[in-house]
């Protein structure tokens, strides 16, 4: 198996790049943002609970997200690997993911962190707000999401860096150039030079 985490702040392009990576490398894409939005639109009990947090720009509680990931992993016993997008977003989620993967006798192999300057992130998110129809896309909520990222999610990069798994990639190039840089890093791990 090859398990990858695509990491980065809101607006860094994780969703777009995950679709490219998933297709090119045959990995199973798991986006907690997409999963949560589909629970919200299906008005499931989990979705109704999650919406309260998402609409304020807050992270959904760890236990809700970890439960969702656990059942998703179980639903794909034959996956060649997973591409986690938007997860883990807290240290507790990262530790829970390690435990879930260890149970399957595998691990996270690589964490690609997309780095984009703050002005560009804000510009992209406000642009998306005009067209997305997402209830969490307005200036006040976006500001809150940035604070949540800095306080709770950014430390996850350090968690993986300590394990020697983190690679930082510039995410303010074009979509194609960013994908090229990500692919180069993945290939380096898939085809180690002996």
Distance between CA atoms of 12 and 152, rounded to whole angstroms? 17
Burial of 162 from C-beta contacts in 10 A (0-12 / 13-18 / 19+) = exposed
Count the Cβ atoms, other than its own, within 10 Å of residue 50: 22
Residues 28-47 that bind ligand ADP (CB under 6 A): 32-33, 36
CA 141 to chain CA centroid, Å, is 19
Residues 60-89 that bind ligand ADP (CB under 6 A): 60, 65, 86-87, 89
Contact between 47 and 41 (Cβ < 8 Å)? yes
Least distance (Å) from ligand ADP to the CB of residue 69?
A: 8
Bridge partners (DSSP) of residue 66 are none
Please confirm whether the linkage preceding 168 is cis (ω < 30° from 0): no
Contact with ligand ADP (CB under 6 A) among 82, 96, 108, 145:
145
Least distance (Å) from ligand ADP to the CB of residue 68?
A: 9
By CB under 6 A, which span of 10-18, 96-104, 106-114, 164-172 interacts with ligand ADP? 10-18
Q: Find the catalytic residue in 134, 144, 152, 165.
A: 134
Write out the catalytic residue numbers. Answer: 14, 89, 128, 134, 145
Q: Residues interacting with ligand ADP, by CB under 6 A?
A: 10, 14-15, 32-33, 36, 53-54, 57-60, 65, 86-87, 89, 93, 136, 145
């Amino acid at each position: 198996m090859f398990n990858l985490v695509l990491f980065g702040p809101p607006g860094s392009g994780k969703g777009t790049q995950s679709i490219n990576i998933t297709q090119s490398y045959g990995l199973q894409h798991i986006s907690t943002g997409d999963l949560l939005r589909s629970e919200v639109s299906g008005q499931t009990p989990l979705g109704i609970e999650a919406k309260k947090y998402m609409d304020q720009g807050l992270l959904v509680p760890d236990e809700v997200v970890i439960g969702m990931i656990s059942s998703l992993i179980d639903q794909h016993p034959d996956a060649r690997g997973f591409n986690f997008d938007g997860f883990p977003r807290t240290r507790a989620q990262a530790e829970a993911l390690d435990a879930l993967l260890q149970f399957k006798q595998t691990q996270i192999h690589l964490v690609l962190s997309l780095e984009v300057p703050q002005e560009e992130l804000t510009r992209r998110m406000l642009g998306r707000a005009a067209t997305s129809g997402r209830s969490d896309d307005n200036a006040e909520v976006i500001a809150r999401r940035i604070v949540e990222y800095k306080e709770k999610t950014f430390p996850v990069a350090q968690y993986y860096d300590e394990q020697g798994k983190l690679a930082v990639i510039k995410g303010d190039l074009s979509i194609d150039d960013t994908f090229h840089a990500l692919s180069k890093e993945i290939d380096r791990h898939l085809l180690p030079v002996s």
